[in-house]
């Protein structure tokens, strides 16, 4: 039947392949379910019409059977009354009613078979829809996980590890240089202070020596600070 041509395509489609090729698998899955729901609705409507036709054919068939039975009963009553001609007329109408019975029976059986086929297809489609709904959450979760993994992979892959390492090494060298410069300045500052301290210490020591020299010379009655020449007398 025409209404199931598209249903067959949907049911036979490779969902995994569709998801792989879809730009947004989550939207694709939702659209598949919407399509299935639409097909279920249309198929259910078709089933309703088929069932209505089946009921009409069954009524026509039952009515034809009843008419045939009524004419047979009238023929029997006419024969019991000795009315052979009347009985023949009743049987003539029964024969016509029997033809209707055959026609309506054939029609009813055909429509009944088609209705059973439509009902089976509708049940199959409903089962597929329920299966799709039950798998939707899992497929969406897998899609989201795949997106996360893809984004992480792209983030990691987008980094130039060698370039980043080079930058890190340059920063480390710069810090090392800064530390060396700081140490050098500290050493220079310490050296200057030490020289100054030594200078002041030497000056203090010289002053003390001069003071002691003047004291001794004064005690000895000497006034010259020049050293005595060799052979001089005390």
| CATH number of this structure's domain 2-160 | 1.10.287
pLDDT digits (tens, 9 = 90+) for 193-229: 566 666 777 888 788 877 877 877 787 777 655 544 4
User: Is 143:26 a contact under the CB 8 Å cutoff?
Assistant: yes
What does the block give as tokens for 123? Answer: 């049940």
Residue recorded with tokens 């029609």: 107
pLDDT at residue number 55: 94
pLDDT, residue 102, reads 94
pLDDT score for 232:
44
In sequence order, which residues have a C-beta less than 8 Å from that of residue 22 and are 6 or more positions away? 28
Output the pLDDT for position 162: 60
Q: Supply the pLDDT for residue 6.
A: 56
Domain chopping of the chain, boundaries: 2-160, 167-222
Q: Which of 98, 111, 1 is nearest to 52 (CA)?
A: 111
Taking each helix axis from N to C end, the angle separating 25-80 and 84-158, rounded to the nearest 10 degrees, works out to 170
For 167-203, the pLDDT digits (tens) are 767 777 877 887 777 777 776 665 555 666 667 778 8
Which portions of the chain are predicted below pLDDT 70?
1-23, 154-165, 168, 187-198, 223-234
pLDDT of residue 229: 44
């Amino acid at each position: 039947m025409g209404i199931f041509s598209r249903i067959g395509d949907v049911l036979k489609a490779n969902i995994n392949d569709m998801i792989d090729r879809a730009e947004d698998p989550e939207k694709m899955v939702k659209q598949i379910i919407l399509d299935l729901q639409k097909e279920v609705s249309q198929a259910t409507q078709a089933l309703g019409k088929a069932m209505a036709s089946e009921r009409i054919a069954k009524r026509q068939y039952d009515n034809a059977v009843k008419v045939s039975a009524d004419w047979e009963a009238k023929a029997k009553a006419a024969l019991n009354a000795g009315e052979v001609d009347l009985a023949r007329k009743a049987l003539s109408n029964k024969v016509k009613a029997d033809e209707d019975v055959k026609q309506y029976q054939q029609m009813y059986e055909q429509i009944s078979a088609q209705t059973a086929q439509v009902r089976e297809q509708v049940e199959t489609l409903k089962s597929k829809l329920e299966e799709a709904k039950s798998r939707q959450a899992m497929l969406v979760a897998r899609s989201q996980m795949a997106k996360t993994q893809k984004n992480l992979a792209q983030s990691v892959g987008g980094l130039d590890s060698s370039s980043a390492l080079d930058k890190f090494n340059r920063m480390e060298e710069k810090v090392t240089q800064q530390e060396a410069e700081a140490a050098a300045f500290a050493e220079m500052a310490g050296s200057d202070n030490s020289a100054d301290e030594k200078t002041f210490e030497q000056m203090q020591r010289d002053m003390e020596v001069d003071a002691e020299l003047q004291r001794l010379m004064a005690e000895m009655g000497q006034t010259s600070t020049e050293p005595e020449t060799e052979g001089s007398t005390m």
